[in-house]
Amino acid sequence: MKKLINSVENVVRDELAGLGAAHADLLKVVIDPTYVVRVDAPVNGKVGIVSGGGSGHEPMHTGFVGMGMLDAACPGEVFTSPTPDQVTAATKAVNGGAGVLHIVKNYTGDVMNFEMAAELAAAEGIAVEAVVIDDDVAVTDSLYTAGRRGVGATVLAEKICGAAAQQGRSLTEVAALCRKVNSQARSMGMALTSCTVPAAGKLTFELGEQEMEIGIGIHGEPGRQRLPLASAHEVVAMLAEPIVEDLPFRAGDTVLAFVNSMGGTPLMELYIVYDELRRWLGDRQINIVRSLVGPYMTSLEMQGCSITLLRLDDELIELWDAPVHTPGMRWGA
């Protein structure tokens, strides 16, 4: 294992120290229980938004804390769910009197621990709503989830709901918006290589030099198929077709197209994928009106990518375009 770390035991704590130091104008890091919170939290009268999950997917979620997105994020250890006490503490820290929305990826540990935290916060008089994101069309159930996994749509929901909360919408309205994003988004990913979890010290799974895996999860969970390595043109078709068929997306739809790096794939290859996706959707009269390309929801250094499509309307476009200022996403501010 070759990684630029000090010790396996302190990977997450060392990372958070650097995040806090580099972006002290946007966020602060609280330790024991550990969470990352907007520097100006709580914002009185504003719905607080909390998300979280295992570390190793940066910039998600800690890198999305700031104006126009998350109020707090709870990082677990690498690929490990945050604990209920982390989520409870973060929820209390961002409660400005308008309630708190939990945005939760559908992984069993995340869902269970966020549910426990919501109950604890409610017992202290904090109104909490939770929305579980389950956009991955690759598998219905797995060892990690009941139902579909939550993947790329989480990033889009955090941005759009963050903008709505920043506008002063109510908890009920922001939660309904989050459910709308989840219902109108679909994703699927693929891997060219595995990653190495620091504590394990070895590849999570073996993948031959001329092989690829279609439909993997963000922790290296098995996908639909292991196939011979194919071109970007062919890979895009393998990912886009089940996404489009599932919602279904139709001719005339306007969409946000999100091409995400799993951590080890450079922008050069992501833009090749994006261009192939643009052509593939164009042939079906599905129009990309907003795009996001880059490493936003990674899986350590895994090579590969995921595609997420979100059906847009005027409301979602306005909220997507709204100013955001976080370490991992910034425009208009």
Nearest to 306 by CA among 260, 267, 263, 275: 260
Write out the DSSP string of 270-300: HHHHHHHHHHHHHTTTPEEEEEEEE-SS--T
Contact 279/271 with Cβ under 8 angstroms? no
Nearest to 171 by CA among 45, 264, 83, 71: 45
- Active site positions, annotated: 57, 219
Can you tell me the distance from the alpha carbon of 89 to that of 84, in angstroms, rounded to the nearest whole number? 9
Give Cα 91 distance to the centre of its chain.
Answer: 19
Question: In one letter, which amino acid is 14?
Answer: D
Task: Give, to the nearest 10 degrees, the angle between helix 267-282 and helix 232-246.
Answer: 50
Can you tell me the distance from the alpha carbon of 40 to that of 271, in angstroms, rounded to the nearest whole number? 36
Contact 81/107 with Cβ under 8 angstroms? yes
Contact 278/272 with Cβ under 8 angstroms? no
Can you tell me the distance from the alpha carbon of 326 to that of 38, in angstroms, rounded to the nearest whole number? 9
Contact 68/164 with Cβ under 8 angstroms? no
Long-range pairs for 176-179: beta carbons < 8 A, 24 or more residues apart: 177/319, 178/101, 178/103, 178/131, 179/131
Nearest to 280 by CA among 230, 313, 229, 242: 242
